[in-house]
Amino acid sequence: MIALERLNQQFADGKHIAFVKIGELILAKIDTSVARAMVAVQGAQVVEWQPAHEDLPVVWRANDPLYETGKSIRGGVPICWPWFGDHPTLTLAHGFVRTRDWQLMHVHTAPDHTVSLHWRITDSPDTLALWPHTFELDAIMHIGSDLRIQLVTHNTGPEPFSITQGLHTYLKVGDARSIVIRGLEATYYLDKLKGYARDYQDDMITIHGAVDRIYFGTNHAVEIEDGELDRLIQIDKEGSYSTVVWNPDDRVPSGMRPEESKDMVCVEAVNAADDTVSVAPDESRILGTRISTRRLT
């Protein structure tokens, strides 16, 4: 409990910010007049986010997720870095930072009650054994009436390196089969469920089964129109030229029940597949997302 006590002594304010332990993990609990959220120290992972103007969460998590050391929590916004998806030789999918503890550097509450958290992770002997580069990786999140996350990669080594990465955002919807996803029309995508076959999206996206696609040339906002919940979710992006759309239907991964897939969809700001990011020595690169909502009627 030493880490929990230290975090509460250093950053809790007695009103809106506290640190709690759930299962094996420590989480920051945010509760202000504008939003409620939970963020895990492991992975600097936003687990929940619900702005005050919404009756239901906007960031989705599984009903009964596991809070276990070394395992990403099913839902929220896992940070995938320094590779997105499968590694060509390692069994470790989506990189290694989502299953390691990050250091909380700073907490700030703005006059509008938005809470900002600044997390950091750096290379270690363990990470160098997996990926032979030195780095400093920051996750800067602003939790308020909207949710903003910036992932900042800094190359602290003498050689350039390349990464793929993602903010693997799970979003709560009323019924995945009734939503409409706009903003990815007239773009090409790779279909993971068809052996990464290349195809063309000529219209808005509707979901009628399992979907797992990477859309390219998409650095603009994407919208989810959700008639069941009478809301529109807007996903803005920064430093991202590819977008993942994922719903597993009944092919659910561990930590999720088959019936839960109808309540969620992932629309993710990523750099994936051919959209790689090169980072020169002493250079920084940013991947960002902003999630906001408004009523349809």
Contact predicate 267/242, CB 8 Å: no
Contact predicate 148/141, CB 8 Å: yes
Task: Look at residue 2 in the predicted model and tell me its pLDDT.
Answer: 77
Cα–Cα distance list, 26 to 42, 58, 116, 176, 280 (Å): 8, 22, 18, 31, 34
Domain with 89, as residue range(s), is 2-295
* Cα 279 off chain centre by: 21
Active-site residue identified among 48, 223, 260, 268: 268
Q: Give pTM, 2 decimals.
A: 0.96
* Residue 168 known to be catalytic: yes
* Residue 268 known to be catalytic: yes
Active-site residue identified among 118, 168, 223, 260: 168
Q: Please tell me the distance from the alpha carbon of residue 262 to that of residue 265, in angstroms, as a whole number.
A: 8
Strands (E), 125-239: 135-143, 147-155, 161-163, 165-167, 170-172, 180-182, 187-191, 197-201, 211-216, 222-226, 231-238
State how beta strands 284-295 and 231-238 pair.
antiparallel
Q: Could you give the number of structural domains in the chain?
A: 1
Task: Look at residue 1 in the predicted model and tell me its pLDDT.
Answer: 61
Contact predicate 262/247, CB 8 Å: no
Q: 50: which strand partners? A: 36
What's 178's domain CATH number?
Answer: 2.70.98.10
Contact predicate 46/168, CB 8 Å: no
pLDDT in tens, the chain (297 residues): 679 999 999 999 988 999 999 999 999 999 999 999 999 999 999 999 999 999 999 999 999 999 999 998 999 999 999 999 988 778 788 999 999 999 999 999 999 999 999 999 999 999 999 999 999 999 999 999 999 999 999 999 999 999 999 999 999 999 999 999 999 999 999 999 999 999 999 999 999 999 999 999 999 999 999 999 999 999 999 999 999 999 999 999 988 999 999 999 999 999 999 899 999 999 999 999 999 999 998
Contact predicate 199/191, CB 8 Å: yes
